[in-house]
Amino acid sequence: MAQIDETIKQEKQRIMQMHLFEQEAYQRGFKAVAGIDEVGRGPIAGPVVAGAVILPRNFFLAGVNDSKKLSASKREFLAREIKQQALSWAVTYIFCPRLDEINIYQATIEAMKLAVANLNPQPDFLLIDAMKLSDINIKQQSIIKGDTLSMSIACASIIAKVERDNLMQSLDEIYPGYGFAQHKGYATRGHIEALITNGPCSLHRVSFEPVKSMVSGGNYGEQPSLFK
């Protein structure tokens, strides 16, 4: 019993610690603080996705963390709770060919700006995971590893991850044979083998290796790191 009580105490302390950036913004006079994060920068197929969320000041949800540290079932549960309690949330997608046209970094920025624009009410302060948004008339703070340090950013990370994973599962039915439901577009061995067998589809990022090599006639044997 004592061990359980200690675990609960530690989790409460961790969650309270994750509210420090939000509390600082409130103390500076801001009223609507939004957390922004992205998922899907690394895959060779599918969209980059940005999530944005404005939480109530008294928001508390045990288990919230960087989405990459959570199981799929835990993310699904938390995403439902976040959406239900949030004052506002939004998720936006940038697909190919736009992603290839402007590069992945700019596509991430564009997705984040669209997510912020889709929030209602609009935020007056942004907490962003490791990035800065230029040409946007809202005060902001970039936080390295923000998805583990800020409650708002972590929640944005979770809803973006769940939305992207669910989308890739749906796209697996439209583009069968690649295994999108399993690897979500990342360069797994199975995905590379399917890519070699079937060739790229319209979800594949032609500016990314090894898709770029295939399009240009490159040699997959020169990409051993993909299979590690």
Burial classification of residue 53, based on how many CB atoms lie within 10 Å of its CB (0-12 exposed, 13-18 middle, 19 or more buried): buried
The sign of the CA dihedral 96, 101, 105, 106 is negative
pLDDT at 1: 61
CATH class of 2-165: alpha beta
Please give the model's pTM, rounded to 2 decimal places: 0.91
- ∠ CA 17-23-29, nearest 5°, is 170
**What integer is the mean pLDDT of 187-208?**
95
Listing DSSP states for the chain in one string gives: -HHHHHHHHHHHHHHHHTTHHHHHHHHTT-S-EEEEEEE-SS-SBS-EEEEEEE--TT---TT---GGGS-HHHHHHHHHHHHHH-SEEEEEEE-TTHHHHH-HHHHHHHHHHHHHHT-SSPPSEEEEES----S--SEEEEETTHHHH-HHHHHHHHHHHHHHHHHHHHHHHHSTTS-HHHHTT---HHHHHHHHHH---TTB-TTSTTHHHHHTT--GGG-GGGG-
pLDDT of residue 2: 62
Please, are residues 119 and 46 in contact by the beta-carbon 8 Å criterion? no
Which burial class, exposed, middle or buried, applies to 180 when counting CB atoms under 10 A from its CB (0-12, 13-18, 19+)?
Answer: buried
Predicted local confidence at residue 228, as pLDDT:
27
pLDDT digits over 41-70, tens only? 999 999 999 999 999 999 999 999 999 999
Give the pLDDT mean for 199-210.
95
Mean pLDDT across 20-41: 98
Per the prediction, the chain carries an average pLDDT of 93
The pLDDT value recorded for residue 187 is 96
Domain boundaries, the chain: 2-165, 173-227
The DSSP bridge pattern shows strands 88-94 and 48-54 to be antiparallel
C-beta of residue 90 within 8 angstroms of C-beta of residue 37: no
Q: What pLDDT is recorded for position 4?
A: 66
**Structure confidence by residue, pLDDT tens digits, 85-110:** 999 999 999 999 999 999 999 999 99
- Say how far apart CA 81 and CA 86 lie, in whole Å: 8
| pLDDT at residue 150 is higher than 90 | yes
Packing angle, helices 72-85 and 151-174, rounded to 10: 120
